[in-house]
């Protein structure tokens, strides 16, 4: 199961960020499941929103990424999970909708093919 970890560093207000999930950005021939978790490390005037598409289905639309002073993503971090069909694309987007100049966040994306 591929696990992608990363951070969003200095994302300007109004800007978006898409994690690069290649070569696992599509499910295999039997479909699969994706699990996405993230935490916003910057709390002052920063709102990071998460959007998740699996195939052409909108799973999560601009959901608020929780604030945490440490920004550490662990097993207690709220997650969104979705099941996809064969060849479905996994598309995750983070948007800084706050007024601060830059946002910092950490994310973990787990992709499991059936």
Q: Yes or no: say if 104 and 41 are a contact pair by the CB < 8 Å rule.
A: yes
pLDDT tens-digit readout, 14-45 = 899 999 999 999 999 999 999 999 999 976 77
Rg of the chain over Cα atoms, rounded to whole angstroms, equals 14
pLDDT at 90: 98
Buried/exposed code over 70-84 (b: 16+ C-beta within 10 A; e: otherwise): ebebeeebeeeebeb
Q: Yes or no: say if 114 and 30 are a contact pair by the CB < 8 Å rule.
A: yes
Residue pointed to by tokens 């696992």: 24
pLDDT tens-digit readout, 59-109 = 999 999 998 888 899 999 999 999 999 999 999 999 999 776 688 899 999
pTM greater than the 0.85 cutoff: yes
pLDDT at 10: 84
pLDDT at 102: 81
């Amino acid at each position: 199961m591929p696990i992608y970890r990363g951070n969003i560093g200095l994302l300007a207000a109004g800007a978006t960020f898409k994690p690069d999930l290649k070569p696992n950005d599509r499910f295999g021939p039997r479909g699969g499941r994706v699990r996405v978790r993230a935490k916003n490390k910057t709390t002052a005037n920063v709102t990071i929103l998460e959007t998740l598409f699996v195939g052409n289905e909108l799973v999560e639309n601009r959901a608020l990424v929780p604030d945490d002073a440490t920004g550490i993503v662990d097993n207690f971090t709220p997650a969104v999970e979705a099941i996809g069909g064969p060849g479905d694309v996994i598309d995750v987007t983070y948007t800084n909708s706050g007024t601060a100049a830059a946002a910092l966040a950490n994310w973990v994306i787990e992709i499991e093919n059936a």
